[in-house]
Amino acid sequence: MNISTYVMRSGYDGRKCFVHARFCEAPGFLITTAQYLDVSGCDLFGGIYSSKSYDGGKTWTEFAPEENLVTFEKNGYTIAGCDGTPMYHKKSGKVIVIGHTAQYEKDGKIPAVRERSTWYSVYDEEKGAFGEMKFVKMPEGYENCGNGCGQSIETANGDLLIPVYYLKDGTNPMFGITSASVMRCTFDGETIEFAEIGNELSLDIPRGLGEPSVCFHKGVYYLTLRNDECALWATSEDGLHFGHIHLWSWDDGSILQSYNTQQHFMTINGELYLVYTRRGADNDHVFRHRAPLFAAKVNEKVQLIRESEIAVVPERGARLGNFCALTMNDGRGAVMAAEWMQPIGCEKYGSDNSVFVSFIGN
């Protein structure tokens, strides 16, 4: 398998680092969104930056701040739009970035009780900038619901299938048990509107199910889900109503040793692959074993073919668990990840907040 890996930017000042680097392919260019993280605390995010490539990902413009996607104040809290993933919407010809919100108290701490919502922004190609931050209006009971780090897809008629995870009661503690679903939304080129939500998937293991990603491959919708102790999947015929959740496993029946980290999908030359992190890769020194990033082919039994596994982003001490995967128009798969410079000191293994982009396939 041919893998071409580029470093789109690097450099670390010991105080902040770029995280949540994710990109999509639009006609004539690639566009990445990312944001700074303050390493002095837990998940202290700033506003959104963007970068573009006009040569297929070999070189990129410098990250520049998006003036419409900065933090703001609401009800005594600082709100940041974070965990964004850009996607190209074919019917409208627009790039959308979709994520969820984080709340901070005046001292920078995340409150024990919080609301969370799905935010989005539409890219204006003429202005070369993303538009205002908007929010998907949800039905009652989904006050703590968002699309964090998830892959969404466009259906044949232009609707969006957006995976979300949520606490049914908006006053629940931050670390409660979350459930996951996929919602269908309409998009007219400017506004995302909620239409319906699928069945609730749940797991009574600490923190439940989070950071779901959905894809459509050869007539089947696949959903992959994060849990503190394992990685899971489910399938659907309509993209909304999913069956039982299952542990990701190898084709010999053994369990994939991935935990407390997201996974995403891509196809390579028409074959479905899962991208993930796992134990057992001489990576005990990496936080939650979140590097390197691996990819493996998914077989017809929804198992990973062990002999197909490849490393797609290298491990240099920093975690890579917040990443993106996608399928390029030429049939290759692609992965982007930023070296997350926590815990402090991980740079001793060689990391320097490089943002890697890898293209995989022939």
How far is residue 15's CA from residue 165's CA, in Å, rounded to a whole number? Answer: 30
pLDDT in 10s for each residue of the chain, 362 residues = 899 999 999 999 999 999 999 999 999 999 999 999 999 988 999 999 999 999 999 999 999 999 999 999 998 899 999 999 999 999 999 999 999 999 998 877 777 777 899 999 999 999 999 999 999 999 998 989 999 999 999 999 999 999 999 986 544 545 678 999 999 999 999 999 999 999 999 998 989 999 999 999 999 999 999 999 999 999 999 999 999 999 999 999 999 999 999 999 999 999 999 999 999 999 999 999 999 999 999 999 999 999 999 999 999 999 999 999 999 999 999 999 999 999 999 999 999 999 999 999 98
First to last CA, the chain: 7
List, in order of start, the domains of the chain with CATH numbers. Answer: 3-360 (2.120.10.10)
Q: How many whole angstroms separate alpha carbon 89 and alpha carbon 95? A: 6
CB-based contacts of 253, cutoff 8 Å, min separation 6: none
pTM of the complete model beyond 0.85: yes
| Interior/surface letters 157-185, b for 16+ CB within 10 angstroms, e for the rest | eebbbbbbbbbeebebeeeebbbbbbbbb
Owner of token pair 């990109």: 23
pLDDT at 41: 86
In this predicted structure, what is the pLDDT of residue 173? 47
pLDDT value for 114: 73
CA–CA separation, 149 and 164 (whole Å): 10
What's residue 174's pLDDT? 54
Identify the bridge partners of residue 5 per DSSP, sorted by sequence position: 358
CA 170 to chain centre: 23
The DSSP 8-state label assigned to residue 50 in this structure reads: E
Q: Provide Rg for the chain, Cα atoms.
A: 19
> How many angstroms from the chain centroid is the CA of residue 66?
19
C-alpha to C-alpha distance for 100 and 136, rounded to whole angstroms:
10
